[in-house]
Amino acid sequence: MRKQDRVKGYEELEKILDMAYLRAAKGKGRERHANNQDFINQPIVKINALTKGGFALGQVLKKAEEIPKLSVIDGVNEMLDVIVYAASWVMEKLKSVPQGGNEIETLRESGNNNPVAGNKKADGEMTDWVGEISAKYTTWEKKAKGEER
């Protein structure tokens, strides 16, 4: 997230969203599904396009049924996957927004707290939390599995 877009009091939400991003970009998503493809060329996005977002909704519903039966660590990981599926649904739906189908640019150009409005904001720097979140997530996962104290 760009520094100027951060809102005080929402840091914990940003950390969870970063965890979901890292799980997709560096963890399970990359390991099992990426096949050396960029996110927009992976099955999660391609199948969503074919089903007009129905694939993501189906996966969210399936995981919602499974999560209560899982351990805490597995449940958290599955819920992070739900966040990624939800994001892929948003990507698909943003294609119908009049500004075009590039979800990142659509959000960057948004104004009035409305992701589909238009009002250019200045470019900023990417979050510097990625390394910190990655380390914390790895430590949390190891502790949850009993590999670290």
pLDDT in tens, 50-82: 998 899 999 999 999 999 999 999 999 999 999
Asked if residue 125 has pLDDT above 90, the reply is: no
| Residue 56, Cβ density class (10 Å: 0-12 exposed, 13-18 middle, ≥19 buried) | buried
Every domain of the chain and the residues it spans: 8-121
Tell which wins on pLDDT, 130 or 52: 52
Asked if residue 126 has pLDDT above 50, the reply is: no
Q: What is the pLDDT confidence band of residue 124, given thresholds at 50, 70 and 90?
A: very low
Q: What is the average pLDDT across 130-134?
A: 47
Asked if residue 138 has pLDDT above 50, the reply is: yes
How far apart CA 5 and CA 3 sit, in angstroms, is 5
How far apart CA 16 and CA 133 sit, in angstroms, is 9
